[in-house]
């Protein structure tokens, strides 16, 4: 059987279950949302079926534009921060003994077991003026008086990176642990210092993994909804907040659906662009 493609109806039967699940829980809801985005909004009511581009035209506001750009910016920045810290971090983990590697990975996994709500409120407490870390620094004599580090952009970025970091490491761990240890050694025998080796050989040969990790964190962060509201100011609210606001508080389902579809479209274009840049770099060196 190995190497042969399954033939006939029976072989394809195994595929029906996942296909059905995908259809029910992904394609149908997405189709509904896409349809709703063209429906007509009934002020004070819900919506009536139809086809109009009004909802998309209504997206053309300063608020939507600013929030869209901000959401993409936060996602891009946190992806960059996570990958640039996560890559060397993961590299050093993979150079450790097996036992130490397991301990680190379990530690990182345990972060994933925390709910986003708990993480958000915990950091809001730790970054606050009254009970936060700055009090500790004051006590240690490192600071003059306690300050509030939240709400604010840095607090938001910090919270998002805290949540996305374990995923970054998990995405980077397999390719890094598969990296032939002779590659950096070869670079050293050829005269490259350890730092140069890291950038030219380790980073260079794993560029695809880095792009993949970046895209993963970027997409993961785009959907941030809770943290911007807990750790950020209203001007740090992301598009997810705006969409929820339109859907639930303004009961404008067609507009929120249009926002979501447009947001998804822009993100897909950006992800595709990132991947293309990653690929083109590779071709250039050929």
| 182 makes contact with other proteins (CB under 8 A) | yes
Nearer to other proteins, 170 or 179 (CB): 179
Contact between 215 and 171 under an 8 Å Cβ cutoff? The reply is no
Nearer to other proteins, 143 or 203 (CB): 203
Residue 183 interacting with other proteins (CB under 8 A): yes
Among 50, 84, 92, 185, binds other proteins (CB under 8 A): 185
CB 96 within 8 A of CB 104: yes
Determine the Cα–Cα distance for residues 214 and 76; give it in Å rounded to an integer: 8
Q: Does 187 bind other proteins (CB under 8 A)?
A: yes
- The DSSP bridge partners found for residue 41 are 47
Which of 50, 20, 30, 47 is closest to 38 using CA atoms? Answer: 50
Instruction: State the alpha helices, DSSP H only, in the chain.
Output: 8-22, 28-36, 54-57, 62-94, 98-112, 116-126, 133-140, 153-178, 182-189, 194-197, 204-205, 207-222, 226-231, 239-244, 253-285
Q: Does 99 contact other proteins by CB under 8 A?
A: no
Q: Which stretch binds other proteins (CB under 8 A): 51-59, 110-118, 145-153, 183-191?
A: 183-191
Name 197's Cβ contacts closer than 8 Å, sequence gap at least 6.
184, 187, 188
CA dist., res. 241 & res. 255, Å (int): 13
Q: Which is nearer to other proteins, 8 or 181 (CB)?
A: 181
- According to CB under 8 A, which residues from 195 to 214 bind other proteins? 196-197, 200-201, 204-205, 207
- Residue 206 has a CB neighbour count (10 Å cut-off) of 21
Name which of 70 and 91 has its Cβ closer to other proteins.
91
Binding flag, residue 180, other proteins (CB under 8 A): yes
Nearer to other proteins, 62 or 182 (CB): 182
In angstroms, give the least distance from the CB of 203 to other proteins.
Answer: 9
Question: Interface with other proteins includes 280 (CB under 8 A)?
Answer: no
Q: Which of residues 203-262 bind other proteins (CB under 8 A)?
A: 204-205, 207
Among 192, 264, 270, 271, binds other proteins (CB under 8 A): 192
Among 8, 43, 194, 234, binds other proteins (CB under 8 A): 194
Would you call 41 helix, strand, or coil by DSSP?
Answer: strand
Q: Angle of helix 153-178 relative to helix 207-222, nearest 10 degrees?
A: 140
Kindly state the number of chain residues that form the binding site for other proteins, as judged by CB under 8 A.
23
Per CB under 8 A, does 9 bind other proteins?
A: no
Binding site for other proteins (CB under 8 A): 180, 182-183, 185-194, 196-197, 200-201, 204-205, 207, 282, 285-286
């Amino acid at each position: 059987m190995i190497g042969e493609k399954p033939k006939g109806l029976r072989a394809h039967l195994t595929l029906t279950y996942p296909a059905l699940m995908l259809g029910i829980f992904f394609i149908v809801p997405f189709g509904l949302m896409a349809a709703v985005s063209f429906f007509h909004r009934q002020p004070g009511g819900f919506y009536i079926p139809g086809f109009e581009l009004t909802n998309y035209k209504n997206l053309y506001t300063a608020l939507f534009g600013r929030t869209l750009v901000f959401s993409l910016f936060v996602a891009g920045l946190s992806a960059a921060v996570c990958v640039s810290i996560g890559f060397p971090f993961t590299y050093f983990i993979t150079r450790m003994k097996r036992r130490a590697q397991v301990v680190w990975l379990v530690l990182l996994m345990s972060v994933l077991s925390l709910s986003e709500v708990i993480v958000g409120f915990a950091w809001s407490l730790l970054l606050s003026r009254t009970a936060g870390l700055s009090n500790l620094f004051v006590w240690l004599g490192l600071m003059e008086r306690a300050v509030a580090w939240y709400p604010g952009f840095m607090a938001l970025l910090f919270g998002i990176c805290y949540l996305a970091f374990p995923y970054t490491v998990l995405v980077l761990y397999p390719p890094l642990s598969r990296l032939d240890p002779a590659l950096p050694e070869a670079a050293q025998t050829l005269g490259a210092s350890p730092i140069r080796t890291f950038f030219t050989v380790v980073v260079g040969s794993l560029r695809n993994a880095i792009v993949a990790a970046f895209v993963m964190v970027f997409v993961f962060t785009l959907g941030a909804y809770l943290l911007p509201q807990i750790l950020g100011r209203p001007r740090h609210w992301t598009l997810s907040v705006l969409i929820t606001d339109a859907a639930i508080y303004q009961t404008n389902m067609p507009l929120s659906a249009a926002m979501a579809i447009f947001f998804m479209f822009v993100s897909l274009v950006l992800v595709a662009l990132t991947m293309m840049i990653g690929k083109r770099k590779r071709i250039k060196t050929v």
